[in-house]
Structure 1
Amino acid sequence: MSPALAAGAAIAGLIGAVTVGPALPGGHLGVGILVTATAVAYVTGASAWSAGRLVRSGPGKRGSWFNRTGVVFLVLAVLLSASAAVRDADWIVLPALLLAVAAGSYAACGGRSWAEVLGGGLAVVPAVGYMLPWAGRGAYRAASPSRGNAWPVIRTGLIVVVLLAVFGGLFMGADAAFGSLASGLVPEISAVSVFLYAFAGTATLVLTCAAAYLGQAPPPLRMLNPEPATPAGRWSWAVPIAALDLLFLAFCAIQAGVFLADDKDKLLESTGLTYAEYARQGFFQLVVVTVLVLAVIAVAMRYAPSGGRGDRVTVRGLLGLLCALTLVVVAVALRRLYLYEETFGWTRLRLWVHAFEFWLGGVVVLVAVAGVVKGRLAWLPRAVAAGGAVAMIALVSINPDGFIAGHNVDRYEDTGKVDVDYLRGLSADAVPALDRLPEPQRSCALRAIAFDLKDDEPAMGANYARSRAREILKHRPVDDSANCASSYRSD
């Protein structure tokens, strides 16, 4: 590890300590996560740059992978980390942050195949162990006055910290106004806070060093790629796919007959189900069908015959039809889930499954474009991974808890039914929507959230959703005397 990278990693660790550490005592992440993630991404990019992996290979030659894919995934990682600054719901923020780490890890490793994309996303975990001797030697060189050029920077920084601490403390004691201003900038010092700051700084330092190590020495993930498969014969390949196409055609035809029928309940008398029950039945089976179809398409593409034009036309025709019919299955599954949600309300699990099925539909479209329309699969694994990151960013942007609360409030206005016991477990993201409920349901739904928001946050723990919720609750405080016993049974 070069002294410059060692100094950069140390600075990133310090940023993590002073931005993430203060937010840990209250358990509320905020804008500090975004600041720290930007610092880690910068060091990761600098590491790849110093290794020559951000520079084009030469005039007129094709650029290296990091010129495009790596930069895109670094940007996606930073955008995913921004979820901590705008959303309060842990169930959506934590997966977004984990996906940000995976996206940054792949950005440092690179690769085009499925094995390289998956392995690159997970490579940061073993890199923590591999980078220890590499980073240790670099830190020793950086801190050595005789061997490194980073020591003057470190020495100057220590002098600045000591001088500010001594004279700042004297000024705080000499003037009350200055002391009041400075106390808001200086974090609270206690045994617990020091431990949390050290933990945040160490975790950031380790993550930064692991990412920098991957930028310098990406693992040989190409060894994970399977050997090229021997193409199957045309008929032994085409007959099973054609049979599957016919099965999907029959299913889609029955679905069309049911959904287009004027009297749907009469049409379904033989099943013993009403239309609403029929629409809600079998959703998860259809999700499994979609996943299995993607596996079938992957195997079919691997063993698809490619001897001549007739083979290529057969492959594109059968797989294109299967992709199109799979999209119909996705639409049917989403329709069934939507009817279920309209009847019983939205929950986090139902929204997760809804988003996952949407993403599966997007994957089917990408597969169809790559394998059927263009006949080029090299970019497909990267596109699917980027699509997953974009889908998570889109899910964060719609404010999931606010979306769930808003639809349940709309349902209450239409039917008079609402599950307040479930709504009270939502996060501060849901406060604007829950504020529309009448009393006592409003106070019952907001009481727990208001209790969590009563304490102030440090500057680096600032969060848009919590700030907005505090403003709403400040103008319309929760009625602590509201009787919630009957509200919980209103659905």
Structure 2
Amino acid sequence: MSETPPESPRPEPAPDEPASPGTTPDEGVSEQAGPGRAAPETAAVGARREQIPAPAAAPQAAGRGEAGGGTASMPEPPKIPAYAAQRPGGQGRQGPPRQGPQRQGPPSPWGKPPPSVTTRLRAKKAEPVHTGTLWAALATALLGMALLGDGIGLNLLIVALPASAGAYIAARAAGRRIRPWTAVWAIGGLALLVVPALRDAGWPTFLAMVSALALGSLALHGSRSWLGVFLGSLGVFTSVFESLGWGVRGVRERMSGSRGRYGVVFRSAAVAVVLVIVFGALFASADAAFADLLSDLTPDVSVGDGPWRIFLGLLALVGALAAAYTAAAPVGWDRVIVRPGKARGRLEWALPLVVLNLLFAAFLTIQLTVLLGGYDKVMAETDLSYSEYARQGFWQLLWATVLTLGVIALALRWAPRGGTRDRTLVRCVLGTLCFLTLVVVASALRRMDLYVDAYGLTRLRISVAAVELWLGVILVLIMAAGVFGPRLLPRAVAASAAVGVLAFGLISPDGLIAEQNVQRYRNAHSIDIEYLKGLSADAVPALDTLPEPLRSCALQDIQRTLRGSDEPWYATSWGEARARDILGDWDPGYRALNCRGLSTGDNGDERGGGTDDVYDPYDPYDPY
């Protein structure tokens, strides 16, 4: 590297002394300056540099100016890329992030990866796992391994209780307290797990399990906004992987710090289990009554289903840890901001909705005319049968209700927000639309009533009727939000869905279907045995009242299923237990030999008899 005499004499650095690592080229010095070539401002810069003391860490590594026509040169410091300017240990510069666009360099091979979205949204880092949480997770795993492999029933609630206790302990250790809505979600989730213990039908049980998981996740997060409630109901899954490391660290810390104490606990528990197994087996072999009691109270575990039970135990353990970790460090889903839509002008916003209101009003006027004039007049004018008229309208009105809710959501997003007049306009227009849609809901439910009266009740029909009723509840909640404010609307809608699922499970839909069809047979001697025989054990009390041979034909498949299952008490629903008490050891015998063709009457055809139009294109459960 070439050197030129400095403008003023300075102590030269030692030959082996390196330049200061923080030295940078002088500002204003041309990079093209070389031997025999001077930049325009170098003399002034050199004069200014003489007045600045050199850093204490490198007193000899001062910059050099130039005088006359000479040039100044200095050892160039090694250029360190921005991504490599890290503190020891791989930690980058602490402090607030720099504003404005920044050039992203290649990832550091020794630095930490960037945090995930959920990590950034968590309110705080989870505290070390509490000992009570670890014991609760262990109890959940053991109960899941022992109880969940035999079926679905009360065992779901039994396994969920220690997992809930572990989450509560973790929340208290993190300084969180129970709020009213948290208690609502938690109690509602546990109440939904009562449905599998009561009903034998699989479809209301599945809805209850999914809803219970969603409410439990909401209880752990405590979200308020629309997006927060939606994401919060699924947010527990985002804690699965982090919770595993959290639990492993907690166990490792306790084992390394208290090896002797925990070793005593584990050894004592192992000895107790061995003693219970040995002496329990002896007492069971000595007394038949005690053996029966012991077989009813303890799970039947075999070597063949060992891997399946181990998997269920691990699944329960992961679920308990994920719930506890979420309770200790919840994700702030409410911090995800959705920008409001662009506000429209009054005329641009209100005109389409006013036209839609007029269309709704015209349709409902026709419906009122039908109700006053009677269905006979309408059928005579339209050439439609009674059942065709009922069937034709329900599904269209159901979709009209769903689309109207979408229109209301978009209208609120683009509503004018200028002041009091705009708020009054929005409330009047959308309130009118909600009221007219409520009348449409009532009309749809009335058509479903006619539909069921003509065809009979099925699982699909009772399900869509329940959905239509829930949509009406949502409309009422939207109207209430227009009066009292929308702050509670997202949580109220979620709570109404949970209440609807709980009520749907408690009324026993299969039992209700059987009761309606049995009553229909008594009134019109019309019944579809082929459909009723596919119901669950919840339908046994109603089907048991049918005359022979209809009774035997309807119950033979259910009785065969009950005889083929030997589930323990914790995996048996109350509906199944009641069906066993009613049927006992009953055998349909010869009475069920000729069941084909026993479906009597019109099989759900239109009023007035006949066997035409028995196919229902909207019902996949229709056997025809």
Q: TM-score, normalised by structure 2?
A: 0.72
CA contact (8 A) 1:30 1:462 kept: yes
* Aligned-pair identity (%): 43
Query: For 1:104 and 1:484, how far apart are their aligned partners in 2?
Result: 50
Distance 1:53 1:463, change over 3 A: same
SS state of the match for residue 243, structure 1?
A: helix
Q: Does 1:18 align with 2:146?
A: yes
Query: For 2:173 and 2:553, how far apart are their aligned partners in 1?
Result: 57
Distance 1:46 1:187, change over 3 A: same
Deviation track 1:330-372 (CA, whole Å, cap 9, x = no partner) reads 11111111111111111111111011111111011101101x2
Amino acid of the residue matched to residue 6 of structure 1? L
Q: Does 1:68 align with 2:180?
A: yes
Q: What residue in structure 2 maps to residue 5 of structure 1?
A: 133
Query: For 1:204 and 1:154, how far apart are their aligned partners in 2?
Result: 21
Query: For 2:378 and 2:211, how far apart are their aligned partners in 1?
Result: 46
Aligned counterpart in structure 1 of residue 553 of structure 2, from 426, 435, 444: 444
SS state of the match for residue 233, structure 2?
A: helix
Q: Does 1:45 align with 2:178?
A: no
Q: Does 1:33 align with 2:142?
A: no
Residues 413-424 of structure 1: pairs in structure 2 closer than 5 A: 413-424=522-533
Structure 1 alignment gaps of length 5 or more: 55-65
Q: Does 1:458 align with 2:568?
A: yes
Deviation track 1:217-269 (CA, whole Å, cap 9, x = no partner) reads 2223234330233432222211122111111111111111112114x333454
Amino acid of the residue matched to residue 311 of structure 2? F
CA contact (8 A) 2:221 2:332 kept: no
Query: For 2:254 and 2:493, how far apart are their aligned partners in 1?
Result: 40
Q: Does 1:398 align with 2:503?
A: no
Q: What residue in structure 2 maps to residue 226 of structure 1?
A: 338
SS state of the match for residue 321, structure 2?
A: helix
Amino acid of the residue matched to residue 576 of structure 2? R
Q: Does 1:385 align with 2:497?
A: no
CA contact (8 A) 1:7 1:142 kept: no
Deviation track 1:286-311 (CA, whole Å, cap 9, x = no partner) reads 11111111111112222222322222
| Range 355-364 or range 273-282, more displaced | 273-282
Amino acid of the residue matched to residue 142 of structure 2? L
Distance 1:273 1:175, change over 3 A: closer
Distance 1:268 1:482, change over 3 A: closer
Q: What residue in structure 1 maps to residue 360 of structure 2?
A: 248
Query: For 2:519 and 2:457, how far apart are their aligned partners in 1?
Result: 11
Deviation track 1:385-439 (CA, whole Å, cap 9, x = no partner) reads 1110100111111110000000011111112121111111100000000001111
Query: For 1:339 and 1:148, how far apart are their aligned partners in 2?
Result: 73
Query: For 1:484 and 1:117, how far apart are their aligned partners in 2?
Result: 54
Residues 142-221 of structure 1: pairs in structure 2 closer than 5 A: 142-144=254-256, 146=258, 153-173=265-285, 178-221=290-333
SS state of the match for residue 167, structure 1?
A: helix
SS state of the match for residue 453, structure 1?
A: helix
Deviation track 1:31-65 (CA, whole Å, cap 9, x = no partner) reads 111211222222222222222221xxxxxxxxxxx
| Range 430-439 or range 264-273, more displaced | 264-273
Q: TM-score, normalised by structure 1?
A: 0.90
Query: For 2:262 and 2:176, how far apart are their aligned partners in 1?
Result: 24
Amino acid of the residue matched to residue 86 of structure 1? L
Distance 1:145 1:450, change over 3 A: farther
Q: What residue in structure 2 maps to residue 93 of structure 1?
A: 205
Aligned counterpart in structure 2 of residue 360 of structure 1, from 441, 466, 471: 471
CA contact (8 A) 2:221 2:232 kept: yes
| Range 351-360 or range 269-278, more displaced | 269-278
CA contact (8 A) 2:236 2:322 kept: yes
Q: What residue in structure 2 maps to residue 300 of structure 1?
A: 411
Aligned counterpart in structure 1 of residue 583 of structure 2, from 456, 465, 473: 473
Alpha-carbon RMSD:
2.2
Larger radius of gyration, structure 1 or 2? 2
Amino acid of the residue matched to residue 344 of structure 2? A
Query: For 1:244 and 1:73, how far apart are their aligned partners in 2?
Result: 37
Q: What residue in structure 2 maps to residue 106 of structure 1?
A: 218
Query: For 1:487 and 1:153, how far apart are their aligned partners in 2?
Result: 67
CA contact (8 A) 1:144 1:151 kept: no
Amino acid of the residue matched to residue 342 of structure 1? D
Distance 1:178 1:253, change over 3 A: closer
Distance 1:149 1:392, change over 3 A: farther
Query: For 2:289 and 2:520, how far apart are their aligned partners in 1?
Result: 52
SS state of the match for residue 546, structure 2?
A: coil
Amino acid of the residue matched to residue 172 of structure 2? W
Distance 1:391 1:279, change over 3 A: same
Query: For 1:400 and 1:186, how far apart are their aligned partners in 2?
Result: 32
| Range 244-253 or range 129-138, more displaced | 129-138
Query: For 1:148 and 1:381, how far apart are their aligned partners in 2?
Result: 51
Amino acid of the residue matched to residue 425 of structure 2? T
CA contact (8 A) 1:4 1:150 kept: no
SS state of the match for residue 102, structure 1?
A: helix
Q: What residue in structure 2 maps to residue 81 of structure 1?
A: 193
Residues 236-315 of structure 1: pairs in structure 2 closer than 5 A: 236-262=348-374, 264-315=375-426
Q: What residue in structure 2 maps to residue 59 of structure 1?
A: none
Aligned counterpart in structure 1 of residue 446 of structure 2, from 327, 332, 335: 335
Amino acid of the residue matched to residue 19 of structure 1? L
Distance 1:440 1:237, change over 3 A: same
Structure 2 alignment gaps of length 5 or more: 1-128, 604-624
Q: What residue in structure 1 maps to residue 534 of structure 2?
A: 425
Deviation track 1:159-190 (CA, whole Å, cap 9, x = no partner) reads 32122223333444455554454344343332
Query: For 1:363 and 1:346, how far apart are their aligned partners in 2?
Result: 25
Cα deviation for residue 147 of structure 1 reads 6.6
CA contact (8 A) 2:217 2:236 kept: yes
SS state of the match for residue 343, structure 2?
A: coil
Higher RCO, Cα 8 Å, sep 6+: 1
Distance 1:363 1:154, change over 3 A: farther
Cα deviation for residue 12 of structure 1 reads 1.6
Q: What residue in structure 2 maps to residue 369 of structure 1?
A: 480
Cα deviation for residue 157 of structure 1 reads 2.6
Query: For 2:255 and 2:200, how far apart are their aligned partners in 1?
Result: 40
Amino acid of the residue matched to residue 391 of structure 1? G
Query: For 2:512 and 2:301, how far apart are their aligned partners in 1?
Result: 39
SS state of the match for residue 584, structure 2?
A: helix
Query: For 2:183 and 2:196, how far apart are their aligned partners in 1?
Result: 21
CA contact (8 A) 1:441 1:487 kept: no
CA contact (8 A) 1:142 1:149 kept: no
Q: Does 1:482 align with 2:592?
A: yes
